[in-house]
Amino acid sequence: MLPRFAVRHPITVTMIMLGIVILGAISVDRLGTDLFPSMYNPQLVVELQSGERSPQEMETRFARQLEGDVRSVSHVVDIHTLCRLGIVQVTVTFAWGTDMDFALLDVQKKIARYETRSDVDRVTLSQYDPQASPVLIYTMSGASRRDLDEIRRLAENVVKLNLERLDGVARVQVYGGVRREVLVKLDAYRLAAYQISQQNVADAIRQSNADASGGTLDYNNKAYTIKGIGRFGNIDNVGATVVGYKSSGADEDSLNTGNRQSGRVFEPEKIPIYLTDVATVTYTPADRTELVRLGGRDCLALYIYKEAEDNTIRVAKQAEEALDRMALELPILSFQRIYSQADFISNAIGEVESSA
């Protein structure tokens, strides 16, 4: 039957075969290449960061509220929460067949209010498996005598953001480096002379390092939002914090300057006492919890994760090209590839082709 039809209609058969060849060529170009078969994973991961609070405090302050908020989203079947030092990670599992795009929007609406809280450093929502392996691992180091804190800030504020903008990149994790913090070393003798307690100093620093909302101002048919910017921009701002007041009639040759004035209303006879009057303010490296070295030299590590259903080879290629461009634009940085999942896949495909 088929041979007879092919003999009687050669043009039709030729057009059908040509269509199959064209569809095959288009499909080959769009065919995904990955280490493992693509699997539908109806999970979302919410990660909340808040300073260095203990796991117990993270549970009572954030975890229970987060669980209650995301539990109200439709088609949620399971919630798993992990509390660590300063981090709450909530994994939300949905029913099979759930449209994850809509689920992502619903969960994003539920957690939006946490982003505006003053006690929350960062909230992220990801559609990836946190246990998945990275497709690329790079080390990042700077020129000689470069501060590791400066390199870390470049990695988090420049390199990481540029990589996460790439199509197919789900997340970039930065490890290592040094985080610089401000050390305030109080002078007990001066505190006693000014009659200021350590708690007074801590409260003054906390209150000064904050932004304040001033409402809105209606003028000329326009509404202007008023906001006071008060967060510290550098170490000089910290040292200029007013921790109290002294009487203007005090003896300037003595540290015992009289009773500290109270109240928030400005009075001419009040002379401010700055933090630098009772303490030494300096930069100091924070305690390191991660250490990354290559060839005995301190550096940073970049772990690059891809989206669940994207092409590993394509994502790895464009990430490598982006890092090469950044190495040219930022000559103070150098990148070295440590691991690439795309190399393993390419080698496996090459072995199959050579054996065929």
For 284-304, write each residue's pLDDT tens digit.
888 877 788 888 888 899 999
Q: Which amino acid is at 1?
A: M
Tell me the CATH number for domain 183-279. Answer: 3.30.2090.10
Between 37 and 274, residue with greater pLDDT: 274
Q: How far apart are CA 159 and CA 310, in angstroms?
A: 21
- The predicted structure's pLDDT at residue 266: 53
Work out the pLDDT band at 162, boundaries 50, 70, 90.
very high
- The whole-angstrom distance between residue 330's C-alpha and the CA centroid of its chain comes to 21
- The predicted structure's pLDDT at residue 115: 87
Work out the pLDDT band at 183, boundaries 50, 70, 90.
very high
Average pLDDT of span 265-287: 82
In which residue ranges of the chain is CATH 3.30.70.1320 found? 133-179+286-356
Between 269 and 209, residue with greater pLDDT: 209
- The predicted structure's pLDDT at residue 163: 94
Q: Percentage of the chain surpassing pLDDT 70? A: 87
Between 211 and 264, residue with greater pLDDT: 211
Long-range contacts of 231-240 (CB under 8 A, 24+ apart): 232/182, 232/208, 235/182, 235/281, 235/282, 235/283, 238/182, 238/184, 238/205, 238/209, 238/275, 238/281, 239/274, 239/275, 239/276, 239/281, 240/274, 240/275, 240/276
Q: Output the pTM of the full model.
A: 0.59
Answer yes or no: is pLDDT of 253 > 70.
Answer: no
CA separation, residue 216 to residues 212, 228, 318 (Å): 12, 12, 46
- The predicted structure's pLDDT at residue 69: 92
Average pLDDT of span 191-210: 89
- The predicted structure's pLDDT at residue 252: 45
In which residue ranges of the chain is CATH 3.30.2090.10 found? 183-279
Q: Percentage of the chain surpassing pLDDT 90? A: 28
- The predicted structure's pLDDT at residue 98: 87
- The predicted structure's pLDDT at residue 30: 64
pLDDT tens for residues 63-119? 999 999 999 999 999 898 988 888 999 989 999 888 888 898 999 999 998 988 888
Could you please state the CATH topology (level 3) that the domain comprising 133-179+286-356 is classified under: Alpha-Beta Plaits (3.30.70)
Q: How far apart are CA 310 and CA 261, in angstroms?
A: 64
- Residue 211: exposure state from Cβ atoms within 10 A (0-12, 13-18, ≥19): exposed
The tokens for 245 are: 């007041």
Tell me the CATH number for domain 34-131. Answer: 3.30.70.1430
Average pLDDT of span 305-332: 89
Please spell the DSSP secondary structure of 19-86, one letter per residue: HHHHHHHHHHHH----SS------EEEEEEE-TT--HHHHIIIIIHHHHHHHHTSTTEEEEEEEEETT
In which residue ranges of the chain is CATH 3.30.70.1430 found? 34-131
DSSP-derived letter for residue 157 is I
Answer yes or no: is pLDDT of 43 > 90.
Answer: no
Answer yes or no: is pLDDT of 6 > 80.
Answer: no
Answer yes or no: is pLDDT of 262 > 70.
Answer: no
Average pLDDT of span 236-249: 83
Average pLDDT of the chain, as a whole number: 83
The tokens for 67 are: 């669980």
